[in-house]
Amino acid sequence: MNQKNFSEAMNEIDDKYVNEAVLYRKEKAKKHLWFKWSAAAACVCVMAAGGAIFLLNLGNDVPASYHAPNPSSVQVVNPIIGVNSAAEMESYLDFAVPVLDKEVDSYSVIVMDTYPTTGQVDYADGSQFRIQYGSGDISGIYGGSLEETKNIDGIEAKYYKYDTTCYAVWECNGFTFSYVFGGEGDKDSKSLIEKCKNVFE
């Protein structure tokens, strides 16, 4: 088909078909645009609904039973074992526990990672003695300021003060000790340090 025949054939096409083709293209473009906008509107609606639900529940208290574990299935190891004597405490710890010659309020063994590690003696006058393997401050008092360091029979004892509480910390032959004062604190701490030296050296 040459160019002349093609032009004649095109002239014979009814304008009705040409108009229908143009209209079809416009409607198709409109449908595509409408689909895009409706999808965007749906996303905005979902986000708005989610935000409204979140804000409505923000102030509501959720009953503890919804997120609390079942108490019957939870087992917590008591970190403190109360005992009746220094001898019973020593049976848990496998080392000797020096005790001052004054009234004792309680004996305890402190458990860490399911293993008994620390011996604790609480005296009736409010003082407290602790012993365990290792080094460092085991007094359980944090933030105390170092007041002085004393050499007692070759053992370096550090004396601290936190608010109105005074305590001493020392080490001897692989063990660490602490004594929180009560009553005659300085005299008792010296006596304990001498006892510890006799026991562990």
pLDDT at residue 74, as a whole number = 58
18 is in which domain, residue-wise? 3-58
**More confidently predicted of 113 and 20:** 113
Tell me: the pLDDT tens digits for 60-117?
555 555 555 565 655 666 788 899 999 999 999 989 999 988 899 999 999 988 889 9
What is the chain's mean pLDDT, rounded? 78
Same structural domain, 172 and 115: yes
Same structural domain, 132 and 87: yes
- Does residue 65 lie within any of the structural domains? no
Same structural domain, 49 and 90: no
User: Using 50, 70 and 90 to split pLDDT, how confident is the model at 130?
Assistant: very high
Contacts 24+ apart (CB under 8 A), 16-21: none
- Does residue 99 lie within any of the structural domains? yes
What total number of domains does the chain contain? 2
The CATH number of the domain holding residue 169 is 3.40.1000
- Does residue 68 lie within any of the structural domains? no
- Does residue 73 lie within any of the structural domains? no
Q: Which two tokens stand for residue 121?
A: 């003696």
User: Using 50, 70 and 90 to split pLDDT, how confident is the model at 198?
Assistant: confident
Are 139 and 119 in contact, with CB atoms under 8 Å apart? no
